[in-house]
Amino acid sequence: MQAYIARRLIFGVFSAILVTLIIFFVMRVAPGDVATMIASEQVEEGQEINQELVERVRKELGLDKPIVVQYFIWVWDMVRLDWGESLFVQRSVFGDFTKKVPISIELALTSLIFSTLMGIPIGIMMALKQDTLWDYALRIFTLGGISVPNFWIATMLIVGGMYYMNWSPRLSYTHIWDDPWNNINMFFWPALIGSYATMATKARMMRSTMLEVLRQDYIRTAHAKGLRPFVVTFKHAMKNALLPVVTIIGLTVVRLLGGQVITERVFNLPGIGNMLVEGMRFRDYPVVQVLTFIFATWTIMVNLVTDLTYGILDPRVRFD
């Protein structure tokens, strides 16, 4: 087990380094120049941007150094846990991150709870009611979750609510400690819509694996011994059927933390997804690089935990 974890961690470190290299160089060859954007904010309206001013801004930001030197300076700062300042807004990246990450975590956890509590029971119901009206209806429902983009559903919710019912979800952030009820109201619809696709994936995977498990010999033996259907389903069948779903849950955790960018934008939630979009918009290198590194590290760790969970749920799994 220790050797397996060590190998995965080493592989994860190399993966994270590769991700930082890619995003570091892609950000610098992409169209747009953060020095020009900052210089344009310093000149009066109607005046042209002075190239000398642009070069001075670039030198102040350290962007006049060779790209390789910039990369190693940034890596050394990351090792020292010095995330630097945003190039555009001149604020601490770490300070902004600590303010915004609780919002994204709350949205991710709420979406994960919704998708898991709805997806697994719906999948079990579809398997137990195979080829019935319930099965067909729920399969169509889950197919919609996989096929229809979440941002379209969110947009239709806001537009339809305002047009037909003169209603819209709360678009201003309220901290949970300041007003718990308004905080719950604000996160309910974004979390519900954000969890629709992942719920549908869990439900369809649960249906498939549950049908396979229900046809196994030990399930027929359990029924023949006179065990109640509830006990057979939830004690014997569901545990083994959950194994592939655990992988889906792990992927969901990865996706929900870093993949709620559009949901945060539509519902005006000031999380790290919004922070990443703004950083890419203004070519704010420190912000984009730090968030990308965090997302890569988070993905690696969640995948490792997911693999280890297999050994807990299924004793037959061994790590060599």
Could you report the per-residue pLDDT of 30-55, keeping only the tens digit for each? Answer: 666 667 776 676 666 656 666 777 77
Domain positions in the chain are 32-82, 94-313
Looking at residue 259, what is its pLDDT?
61
Residue 257's pLDDT is 67
Does CATH number 1.10.3720.10 belong to domain 94-313?
A: yes
Question: Of 176-190, 225-239, 245-259, which gets the smallest average pLDDT?
Answer: 245-259
pLDDT score of 138: 92
Residues 88-101: tens digit of each pLDDT: 777 888 888 888 88
CA distances for 184 relative to 110, 111, 192, 260, 272, angstroms: 10, 12, 12, 17, 19
288 is written with which tokens? Answer: 């984009």
Mean pLDDT of 71-93: 79
Question: Which pLDDT score is estimated for 316?
Answer: 61
Of 278, 270, 273, 269, the residue nearest 294 (C-alpha): 273
Q: What is the pTM of this model?
A: 0.75
Q: Write down the pLDDT at residue 133.
A: 92
Residue 67 backbone dihedrals phi, psi, to 5 degrees: -60, -40
The rounded mean pLDDT for the chain is: 79
Q: How far apart are CA 117 and CA 174, in angstroms?
A: 26
Banded model confidence at residue 140, pLDDT cuts 50, 70, 90: very high
